[in-house]
Chain A
Amino acid sequence: MKELIYLFHDVFPALMSGLWISIQLIIPSVIFGASMGIIAGTLSVYGHPLLKVASKTYVTIFRGFPLLVQLYIWYFGLPRIGIYFSPMAAAIIGFSLCSGAYQSEYVRGALLSIKKGQLLAAHALGFSRTKTLLSVILPQALRRALPGCGNEIIYLIKYSSLAYMVTCIELTGKGKILASASLKYTEIFMIVGAIYLVLVSVASLLLNRMETWLSVPGFEQHRA
């Protein structure tokens, strides 16, 4: 009985407030990450040669460094040169840039999979290069990139737990504090894990739905 009271009175409210912070981390990171991914991916295919090199370098570095190292650089490293971030801002910047680097590879792959004839056809119709990209190529490529980018979003949700390491106390952090206080590590981390499982399942369901909503009937349906 005492344990149940503890569970409902202390653990749940604290974990829910942690979950809310996690969500505040995840949503902006998803939005910025996807934007970074689309921009970097597009530039690496259609950009000026210099921009191609720039986006390649970005992708190599941000995919090659472990996310934890990146977060430490944003939060503990940059104050050395006078740039200060709050834990939350550092976490969001770290997640967005890392996720963007991974997503840009999917966008790049999708862009390259669009037939070159479309570019020529749009050109023949008098579309400018930018216009072609925005209204012919990207709408198709982004639909193709969605499954891969969706996977990255799922990864992002799981990696949001690393924000705890830069002192942003979200779901995992709250769990750690509660567990250290009550010594009920197994129970509390089981609950935390279950919450993440729900988050991940809901997100993958939504992403699947989104694929269906966005698909153009009778055109390029990949699913059986």
Chain B
Amino acid sequence: MIPQGLTAIKEGLPYLLEGALVNIAVVLGAMALGFALGLPLAVGHVYGNRKTRGLIGIYILFFRGIPLLVLLFLFYFGLFSLSGINASAFTVAIVVLGLISAAYQSQILRGAILSLPEGQMKAALSIGMSKKKAIFFVILPQALRLSIPGWSNEYSILLKDSAVAYALGVAELMARAHHVASRTYQHLYLYLTAGFIFLLLTYLGTKGLNVLYKKVGIPGYLR
């Protein structure tokens, strides 16, 4: 039983690793989209007027309150086909994970912005910077550095959530483990292998972001 399992793993491994690349592509795409949307959401949430904050609050409630699987089905089978956009499952997975991640990343960034002393904004304004300039050149460079630990959490959540893209038929790691398992009947071994690949990717990613955090940190400032 065990030797058969090991042969199945050995034969399936290159195929599985190709799938892991798909997961990485989904995660990178979703993180980038999440950042591109999350940054304005965070700035709007902190510095915007009441109406903006209300709208952003609704966006965050929607994408944090509804399960990923339901959103994937809603977008893939519902909204995308309704609007006539012919998007692949892979694209939909990136878009949905990105929209969800934007909600979470905006909260990470908001926390970082709020953790900066309020005096910095006042000081920037008093030396004649515009509010926009103050946000870009004073607040964000610090807030982004502070957000890295939050991002490393977000990365590990996204990576694990990217396995759910399997439900739409994206040929990622989990789907491939399922393919190989159905062919060889070694379900247990292949899912364990898939799990350990995810574990390894999580470990490497969080380690990498930790190194980045130390590298971009300003010596003697921010811990």
Q: Is the CB of A64 within 8 A of B198?
A: yes
Kindly identify, within residues 34 to 88 of chain A, every residue whose CB is under 8 Å from any CB belonging to chain B. 60-61, 64-70, 72-73, 76-81
Residues of B within 8 A of A81 (CB): 1, 188
Residues of A within 8 A of B61 (CB): 197
Q: Is the CB of B73 within 8 A of A189?
A: yes
Please classify the interface of chain B as helix (H, G, I), strand (E, B), loop, or mixed, using the class held by over half of its residues: helix
Question: Is B178 an interface residue, CB under 8 A from the partner?
Answer: yes
Q: Is the CB of A77 within 8 A of B187?
A: yes
Of chain B, the residue at the smallest CB distance from A193 is B66
Kindly identify, within residues 25 to 40 of chain B, every residue whose CB is under 8 Å from any CB belonging to chain A. none
Closest CB in chain B relative to A19 CB, distance in Å: 13
Rounded to whole angstroms, the CA-CA distance of A143 and B62 in the bound complex is 29
Q: Is the CB of A69 within 8 A of B65?
A: no
Closest CB in chain A relative to B25 CB, distance in Å: 16
Residues of A within 8 A of B203 (CB): 64
Rounded to whole angstroms, the CA-CA distance of A185 and B82 in the bound complex is 9
Please tell me which stretch of B87-95, B108-116, B130-138, B162-170 contacts chain A, meaning at least 4 of its Cβ atoms lie within 8 angstroms of it: B162-170
Question: Is B192 an interface residue, CB under 8 A from the partner?
Answer: yes
Residues of A within 8 A of B164 (CB): 66, 68, 162
Question: Is A201 an interface residue, CB under 8 A from the partner?
Answer: yes
**Other-chain residue from B62, B78, B161, B166 in contact with A185 (beta carbon distance below 8 A):** B78
Of chain B, the residue at the smallest CB distance from A186 is B78
Question: Is A100 an interface residue, CB under 8 A from the partner?
Answer: no
Q: Is the CB of B163 within 8 A of A69?
A: yes
Assuming the A-B contacts A64-B199, A66-B174, A77-B191, are A158 and B68 also in contact, with contact meaning beta carbons closer than 8 angstroms in the complex? yes
Q: Is the CB of A189 within 8 A of B70?
A: yes
Q: Is the CB of A197 within 8 A of B65?
A: yes
Residues of B within 8 A of A96 (CB): none
Q: Is the CB of A65 within 8 A of B198?
A: yes
Interface size class of A (residues with CB under 8 A): 35 or more
Closest CB in chain B relative to A113 CB, distance in Å: 18
**Other-chain residue from A73, A179, A192, A193 in contact with B188 (beta carbon distance below 8 A):** A73
Question: Is A200 an interface residue, CB under 8 A from the partner?
Answer: yes
Question: Is A176 an interface residue, CB under 8 A from the partner?
Answer: yes
Closest CB in chain A relative to B53 CB, distance in Å: 19
Q: Is the CB of A66 within 8 A of B67?
A: no
Rounded to whole angstroms, the CA-CA distance of A67 and B79 in the bound complex is 26
**Other-chain residue from A69, A78, A196 in contact with B174 (beta carbon distance below 8 A):** A69
Question: Is B181 an interface residue, CB under 8 A from the partner?
Answer: yes
Closest CB in chain A relative to B82 CB, distance in Å: 5
Residues of B within 8 A of A165 (CB): 69, 166-167
Question: Is B9 an interface residue, CB under 8 A from the partner?
Answer: no
**Other-chain residue from A65, A79, A192 in contact with B70 (beta carbon distance below 8 A):** A192
Q: Is the CB of B186 within 8 A of A158?
A: no
Rounded to whole angstroms, the CA-CA distance of A164 and B188 in the bound complex is 20
- Most B CB contacts (10 A, CB to CB) among A60, A65, A176 go to A65
Q: Is the CB of A158 within 8 A of B67?
A: yes
Question: Is A103 an interface residue, CB under 8 A from the partner?
Answer: no
Closest CB in chain B relative to A77 CB, distance in Å: 4
Question: Is B202 an interface residue, CB under 8 A from the partner?
Answer: yes
Closest CB in chain A relative to B65 CB, distance in Å: 4
Closest CB in chain B relative to A67 CB, distance in Å: 7
- Most B CB contacts (10 A, CB to CB) among A67, A189, A192 go to A189
Rounded to whole angstroms, the CA-CA distance of A175 and B70 in the bound complex is 9
Rounded to whole angstroms, the CA-CA distance of A154 and B199 in the bound complex is 23
Residues of B within 8 A of A187 (CB): 78
Q: Is the CB of B166 within 8 A of A68?
A: yes
Residues of A within 8 A of B181 (CB): 76
Kindly identify, within residues 47 to 82 of chain B, every residue whose CB is under 8 Å from any CB belonging to chain A. 61-62, 65-71, 73-74, 77-79, 81-82
Apart from A77-B191, A77-B192, A165-B69, what 12 extra A-B contacts exist at CB < 8 Å? A60-B199, A66-B174, A66-B198, A68-B166, A69-B191, A73-B195, A76-B181, A159-B67, A172-B73, A185-B77, A186-B82, A200-B65
* 8 pairs, CB–CB < 8 Å, chain A vs chain B: A66-B174, A69-B191, A77-B188, A79-B187, A80-B188, A161-B67, A185-B77, A193-B62
